[in-house]
């Protein structure tokens, strides 16, 4: 059955505003320097979506695991199942895994933000026969900052993507997010971001997302966001996920 892109967009919008969202990183593109606590875990089952008039792309689903291996250091992996649809074709299969290490090297004080880095590697594990895989590994080296004042938290930064391959360009991503804890249950936030062109036939773009999370209890959380980019194809984005913290 063919799914209309506008249906996906307004469904995600409905979910965001009719449910009462994770403290940082997912469901946003901008990340933070705060690692998972030592010997604690985060598990996600989620979908990250992008769609315009001619194409829909999503992880359906992806699985993310974060573990606090030592104080101030987190191990990270994402295993995605991807879906891509154009007017003439639809494919579904295993995509490129994401591996990373988040390290916080400056602790937050009253006057100083916490600062860290979160290098990521996108491994070429995807199904290339379905155009769901990259040819060569990609590497991202960012620096992230975060500061809180009571219920208000803000974080952001950016970094450099090494993006080898024919027709590709190395590129820069930077973003900033602000969020507010309205209660122990509900947090709402928003981000703006900018990225340079990542291919010879693409352009730089800006974008925004609004979203948040619901804490059902200290272990179970619902994450949501929705946004748009400045691309000429009028691209909409969304994220929906469940998080278990242990």
170 token code pair: 């190395």
Residue 228 structural domain: 5-245
Which of 76, 30, 41, 33 is closest to 179 using CA atoms? Answer: 30
**Is 167 in contact with 199 (CB distance < 8 Å)?**
yes
Mean pLDDT score across all residues of the chain: 89
pLDDT tens for 130-164 read 889 899 999 999 999 999 999 999 999 999 999 99
Class of residue 111 by CB neighbours under 10 A (exposed 0-12, middle 13-18, buried 19+): exposed
- Give the whole-angstrom CA distance, residue 36 versus residue 184: 19
Tally of domains within the chain: 1
Instruction: Specify the CATH number for the domain of residue 127.
Output: 2.40.128.130
**pLDDT tens readout for residues 27-57:** 999 999 999 999 999 999 999 999 888 889 9
Which pLDDT belongs to residue 231? 67
The torsion angles phi and psi of 113, rounded to 5 degrees, stand at: -75, 155
11, containing H or E segment = helix 5-17
Note the pTM of the prediction, 2 decimals: 0.86
Please give the helix or strand (H or E) that residue 168 lies within, else none: none
Segment 83-130, tens digit of pLDDT: 999 878 899 999 999 999 999 999 999 999 999 999 999 999 999 888
In whole angstroms, give the CA distance from residue 194 to residue 29.
10
């Amino acid at each position: 059955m063919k799914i209309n892109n506008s249906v996906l967009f307004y469904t995600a919008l409905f979910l965001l505003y009719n449910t009462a969202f994770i403290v940082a990183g997912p469901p946003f593109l901008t990340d933070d320097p705060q690692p998972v606590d030592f010997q604690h875990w985060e598990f996600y089952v989620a979908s990250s979506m992008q769609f315009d008039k001619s194409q829909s792309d999503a992880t359906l689903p992806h699985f993310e695991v974060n573990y606090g291996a030592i104080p101030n250091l987190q191990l990270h992996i994402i295993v995605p199942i991807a879906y891509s649809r154009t007017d003439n074709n639809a494919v579904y299969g295993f995509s490129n895994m994401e591996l990373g290490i988040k390290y916080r090297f400056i602790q937050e004080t009253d006057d100083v933000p916490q600062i860290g880095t979160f290098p990521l590697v996108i491994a070429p594990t995807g199904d290339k026969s379905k155009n769901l895989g990259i040819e060569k590994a990609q590497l991202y080296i960012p620096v992230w900052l975060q500061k809180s004042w009571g219920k208000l938290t803000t974080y952001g930064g950016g970094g450099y993507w090494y993006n080898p391959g024919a027709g590709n360009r190395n590129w820069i991503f930077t973003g900033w997010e602000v969020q507010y804890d309205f209660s122990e249950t509900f947090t709402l936030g928003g981000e703006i971001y900018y990225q340079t062109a990542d291919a010879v036939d693409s352009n730089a773009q800006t974008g925004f997302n609004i979203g948040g999370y619901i804490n059902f209890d200290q272990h179970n959380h619902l994450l949501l966001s929705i946004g748009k980019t400045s691309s000429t194809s009028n691209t909409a984005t969304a994220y929906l996920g469940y998080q278990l913290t242990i």
